[in-house]
Amino acid sequence: MKLKTLAAGIALSMGATVMSFNAMAAEDTIKVGVLHSLSGTMAISETTLKDTVLMMIEEQNKKGGLLGKKLEPVVVDPASNWPLFAEKTRELITKEGVDVIFGCWTSVSRKSVLPVIEELNGLMFYPVQYEGEESSKNVFYTGAAPNQQAVPAVDYLMNELGVERWVLAGTDYVYPRTTNKILEAYLKSKGVAEEDIMINYTPFGHSDWQSIVSDVKKFGSAGKKTAVVSTINGDANVPFYKELGNQGISSEDIPVVAFSVGEEELSGIDTKPLVGHLAAWNYFQSVDNEANEEFIEKWKAYTSDERVTNDPMEATYIGFNMWANAVTQAGTTEVDAVGQAMIGQKSPNLTGGMAVMNKNHHLSKPVLIGEIQGDGQFEVVWETESIVMGDAWSDYLPGSKDLIADWTDPVKCGNYNTKTKTCSGQNY
């Protein structure tokens, strides 16, 4: 009995030692949450961003990590299930103890995460173009706001191509609906009549485009130059573009400018019928400079294949580098300290120049219009002369034009009304 008791005591002691060692090991790493859909309708776009974060973590660890600690990725799959994004976020923060999260693509997934990350005072970097109308203390938006993508794209179509009739086609959720609301107001402010604006929404994963494309073709036969402004997301883009080709709609007839189609989405389809259609982003793989060439080489070496790069990857790259710099500057991974250190951070764009993180938690960066080529790449046909500061609140919506986001003293508010001098939402 004494021997059994002694053995049990030794086992307990060894178990406690192992637990203590594991706890120490966990404390010796900085955990990085990766919250991207690896299955479901958005996997076509998000899987690449997961791999981008893992590549950046590996590269940072080769440099010695941060604050003398290695970075440890914690990857979860919310599976294109919007409520599951919230559950996985809570799990990452409360169970896994991550110090930062890189994640989400759709705005509905971000909206699902937002109350959780604010409640638990987490930190997230969101790397995709979105509709604006938001600024959270706990989120840094490294993708384009509407004034860095949607509005410049419409200006290009109107001024350079002479477009007079507009099809606003999107997936049925918050990003396309809010973006199109902004664009509809913007077009009307430019004198476009209501009958010259057609708006259409389809569900995620929509596959039967025959009647919708037929309606677009009919709408474009009124004798006025017509274009499609596309906020269609995910794998629904593949049958959409195929149906354009099936019905013989070329870029010369009705050009399409897309906000959610990049090199990754085009890699799965025959792009020859789509030559001449457009996309608006802040980055294209085809941009010829040394920084971009180096990034592409690293990506190909990491993935050991010919996978393409795209805009949300660059936004992830910029956000990760800024976060690493902010952690180093703050000397801690504590969220509020890192958040304050983030404002004013700079990181080289892969298209040239420097991206700057502003006090509204949005970047300043250039805007580019690209034309689809036969090889699935884009030729840049237009770009802004300088970087454009992301605007959290639209100047074209009545409820937003008086709002600003400013996370510095004395405002420290994401939706500060400049007329009433009040903050109506989250603040410090």
Tell me what pLDDT residue 20 has.
38
Residue 378 confidence (pLDDT): 97
* Full-model pTM: 0.90
Q: Which amino acid is at 318?
A: I
Is residue 397 over pLDDT 80? Answer: yes
pLDDT at 273: 78
Sign of the CA dihedral running 323, 422, 175, 255:
negative
Average of per-residue pLDDT across 80-90? 98
Is the pLDDT reported for residue 205 higher than 60?
yes
**Could you write out the DSSP letters of every residue in 159-194?**
HHS---EEEEEEESSHHHHHHHHHHHHHHHHTT--G
User: CB of 326 within 8 A of CB of 345?
Assistant: yes
Residue 347: name the closest of 368, 329, 370, 335 by CA.
329
pLDDT at 1 over 90: no
pLDDT at 238: 86
Q: What is the residue-averaged pLDDT of the chain?
A: 92
Residue 70 has pLDDT above 50, yes or no: yes
pLDDT digits (tens, 9 = 90+) for 102-155: 999 999 999 999 999 999 999 999 999 999 999 999 999 999 999 999 999 999
Residue 48 and residue 36: Cα distance in Å, rounded? 9
- pLDDT, residue 427, reads 61
Which of 84-88, 245-249, 274-278 is modeled with the greatest confidence? Answer: 84-88
pLDDT digits (tens, 9 = 90+) for 345-367: 999 999 989 999 999 999 999 99
The predicted structure's pLDDT at residue 428: 59
In 260-315, the DSSP E strands lie at 278-281
What is the pLDDT at residue 137? 97
Set out the domains of the chain in order of their start, with CATH numbers: 23-144+291-364 (3.40.50.2300), 147-287+370-389 (3.40.50.2300)
40 backbone φψ class: left, alpha, beta (φ>0; ψ -120 to 50): left
Nearest to 336 by CA among 140, 137, 142: 137
pLDDT confidence of residue 25:
43
Q: What are phi and psi of 179, to 5 degrees?
A: -60, -45
- What is the C-alpha separation between 254 and 164, in angstroms, rounded? 11
Q: Give the residue with greater pLDDT, 10 vs 216.
A: 216
What is the structure's pLDDT at 3? Answer: 47
Q: Read off the tokens for 136.
A: 């959270």
User: 286-321 b/e with 16+ CB inside 10 Å = b?
Assistant: bbeeeebeebbebbeebeeeebbbbbbbbbbbbbbb
How far is Cα 260 from Cα 170, in angstroms, rounded to an integer? 10
- Residue with tokens 């594991």, as numbered in its chain: 22
pLDDT digits (tens, 9 = 90+) for 400-412: 999 999 999 999 9
Answer whether residue 4 shows pLDDT above 90.
no
> What single letter denotes the amino acid at residue 340?
Q
Please state whether the peptide bond connecting residue 410 to the residue before it is cis, i.e. omega within 30 degrees of 0.
yes
Identify the pLDDT of residue 284: 98
Average pLDDT over residues 215-225: 97
Per residue in 7-29, pLDDT (tens digit) is 455 444 545 443 433 444 447 89
Please give the structure tokens belonging to residue 157: 């179509």
**Residue 250: per-residue pLDDT:** 92
**Residue 5 pLDDT exceeds 70:** no
